[in-house]
Structure 1
Amino acid sequence: MKLSDFDFDLPEELIATRPARPRSSARLLLAEADGIADRHVHDLPQILRPGDLLVLNDTKVIPARLTGTRTRQTGQGDAVAKIEVTLLEPAADGWQALAKPLRKLREGEVIRFGEALSAEIVEIADGGLRLRFDAEGDAFDAALTEVGAMPLPPYIASLRPPDEQDRQDYQTVWAHRQGAVAAPTASLHFDAPLLEALEARGIEFVHVTLHVGAGTFLPVKVEDVATHKMHAEWGEVSEAAAASINAAKKQGRRVIPVGTTALRLIESAATEEGRVRPFAATTEIFIYPGYHFRVSDGLMTNFHLPKSTLLMLVSALMGMDKIQRIYSHAVTREYRFFSYGDASLLLP
């Protein structure tokens, strides 16, 4: 398979820069074995079956986009420069991060992000840097909330800057475990009324955690898809969550992850026979056509970028020809794409 096999034309006006309101009013493309239908997310209680188990990612996005200044003494006095920083993941003695402009920074310098927070540059390597902050634990979380902004994906951030509304919009209603620098975006379509309606219908839920990293937006740079190396992300499936998923499978009920992050995690935790084990580790699972799904009976997900690993994942689930028809339908019917866009429910 070649990277070009996963390309398609997408008009820029279909890239959503704000979510639907209310959340569950977003459109939903329902794709089943016998065809495609245009629905809405609030139709899920009528579409799903009693006993279906939805797997939800309870990661919480941190305000990982920071703007700071660094001061350097020169022969003409102090030179102050503006620095844009995006946190990536915790590291030994600090955080891994990206910075602009990186080339002007030096190890040992201090970047100040306002009165609440500053960080020393411990190391610069591999196109990024490691920062040691002057706060940790709850104090760090509080300072980050004060000075940080939500890390909108590049395709939104290039069209508008993040604002206060994104602190609510770019977070799921069940976000619990802090650590992601990107949202599990299929889950952004759920609100309290929809969850209540699903529960009344007999739909069940189980929570897992995958801390989504900025690597989810990295482009695939190899033409031979099979040689692509995925970024690592930390996830956890608790003993109770594994038991719930295994019980559903044993009873013949469908297990449907909400989002590619939840799907990748439970597939990582599954044995060849399809039994989910408790899991607490990083995963680099790469799902592309030819993959044998062990646990997932379907997937609710947004519409993904051309040539992306996520488009390869849904192609593995539905088949490449079917996904091409689904995406052609979505473009023709002007569905809204990417993180703040509309959703699809894929039931092979």
Structure 2
Amino acid sequence: MNVDLFDFDLPAERIALRPASPRDTARLLVLDGAETRDLIVRDLPGQLRRGDLLVFNDTRVIPAQLEGRRGNARIGATLHKREGLRRWRAFVRNGRRLREGDTIDFGQDVSATASEKAEDGSFILTFAGDEPVELLLERAGRMPLPPYIAAKRPTDAQDAEDYQTMFAAEKGAVAAPTAALHFTPELIAALDTAGIGHATLTLHVGAGTFLPVKADDTDQHKMHAEWGRIDQATADRLNATRAAGGRIIAVGTTSLRLIESATTADGRIHPFDGDTAIFITPGYRFRGIDGLMTNFHLPRSTLFMLVSALMGRERMQAAYAHAIDRGYRFYSYGDASLLLP
């Protein structure tokens, strides 16, 4: 499909630079079949059914942005996928000044050697020393805010809390599963009381999620792979929910993509442990999920293509126009939508 079909105009003032506080007071646009409702996230229990199951991503964001030097050249690196115990694939700023075999000094006794330059300009960075890389990043790295926020203000101490979900446990993401940022213990308690359960899986979100689609046609776009896991117990619970008549509601596109990667054509969800590069565009037949809660996405992005596949492109274009007109806040720290086809 032509990528221009997924474009729309978004005023810059609609981009949220801070999250709502409390988190569950963010606005919630509900698309339920043909109906559209303007609510807040705290209203979520009344929009779902007893027996439904929300599925969250329990990945934890690591301080994956680094600033360093190779000689006199300043080099920026954003880690996006672990490739080994000490090896990470990274997008590099000022990469024309970097060659395979060069060492980058990130300060704080943290350095890495560059190798295996890829077609997209990324490098493998192999970190020196014996300390776990996570400890090195805690020392020298910073929280990797999305570029549309980082371009407008510096990362600060508040982001270390704001950019983690209440489910964050498994270290490895370089971007937050932002739909889950809206949840609080109080909201989860209200959902439990309403008979709406929750489960977790793990998908380590990569920085590729923010990359624009540069191709003119969706068939020409290549997704970056991300690692994910669904264990046997979680797969069994998801299957049991559907067998009992409940719906699987993915919280975030990362949860949705992993569930769909783990689901066979007969609709059965299996354990999963490995990489997924699934790219969902209109025409895709969803097999493992029945709904999605997600934030508002970039124009021409793979995520706007995904929600268009779920609800229909014209429906989503109209919904986003409605959200812009009504003053909804967009992107990672913005408001949410509940999509029930």
How many residues align structurally? Answer: 339
Q: Which of 311, 315, 337 is the matching residue for 1:322?
A: 315
Structure 2 Cα separation of the partners of residues 324 and 100 of structure 1: 33
3-state SS of paired residue (2:181) = helix
**In structure 1, C-alpha distance between the alignment counterparts of 2:332 and 2:212, rounded to whole Å:** 16
Give 1:156 shift.
Answer: 1.1
Secondary structure, counterpart of 2:209 in structure 1: helix
- Is the Cα–Cα contact under 8 Å of residues 14 and 330 in structure 2 kept in the other structure? yes
- 1:63 pairs with 2:63: yes
Q: 1:252 to 1:210 in 2, by over 3 A?
A: same
Partner of 2:24: 24
**What are the ranges of 5 or more consecutive residues in structure 2 without an aligned counterpart?**
none
Q: State the partner residue of 1:133.
A: 127
In the other structure, the counterpart of 1:240 is: 233
For residues 1-348 of structure 1, the aligned pairs below 5 Å read: 1-71=1-71, 80-92=72-84, 94-126=87-119, 127-136=121-130, 139-348=132-341
2:203, 2:254 within 8 Å by CA — same for their partners in 1? yes
TM-score (norm 1): 0.93
Distance (Å, rounded) in 2 between the aligned partners of 1:224 and 1:103: 28
Q: Output the CA distance in 2 between the equivalents of 1:108 and 1:227.
A: 31
Change (3 A) 1:151 1:246: same
Q: Which ranges of structure 1 fall in alignment gaps of 5 or more residues?
A: 72-79
Contact 2:108 2:139 in 1 (8 A): no
Larger displacement relative to structure 2 (128-137 or 296-305): 128-137
> More deviation in 147-156 or 91-100?
91-100
Q: TM-score, normalised by structure 2?
A: 0.95
SS of aligned partner of 1:28: strand
Instruction: Report the 3-state secondary structure (helix = DSSP H, G, I; strand = E; otherwise coil) of the residue aligned with 2:30.
Output: strand
Q: Does structure 1 retain, via aligned residues, the 8 Å contact 2:51–2:245? A: no
Larger radius of gyration: 1
Residues in 2 aligned to 1:34 and 1:94: alpha-carbon distance in whole angstroms: 48
Structure 1 residue identity aligned to 2:143: M
Deviation at 1:136, TM superposition (A): 4.9
Q: Which amino acid aligns with 1:163?
A: D
Q: CA deviation at 1:224?
A: 2.4
1:183 Cα deviation from its structure 2 partner? 1.0
- Pairwise CA RMSD: 1.6
Q: CA deviation at 1:335?
A: 0.4
- Indicate if the aligned counterparts of 2:259 and 2:288 stay in contact, CA closer than 8 A: yes
How high is the sequence identity, in percent, across the aligned residues? 56
Give the 3-state SS of the residue equivalent to 1:187 in structure 2: helix
User: CA–CA distance in 1 between the matches of 2:98 and 2:271?
Assistant: 42
Contact 2:65 2:76 in 1 (8 A): yes
User: How far apart in 1 are the matches of 2:18 and 2:112?
Assistant: 32
Judged with a 3 Å threshold, the aligned counterparts in structure 2 of structure 1 residues 136 and 172 are, in CA distance, closer, same or farther, namely farther
Distance 1:123 1:247 in 2: 44
Cα shift at 1:108: 3.5
C-alpha deviation, 1:191, in angstroms: 1.5
Give the SS at the match of 1:149.
coil
Instruction: Summarize the Cα distance change of 1:216–1:201 in structure 2 as closer, same or farther, 3 Å threshold.
Output: same
Between the aligned partners of 2:116 and 2:257, the Cα distance in structure 1 is 32
Aligned CA distance change for structure 1 residues 153 and 41 (closer, same or farther; 3 Å): same
Deviations 1:29-60 (A, max 9, x none): 01111411110011112222221100111111
- Name the amino acid aligned to 2:257: R
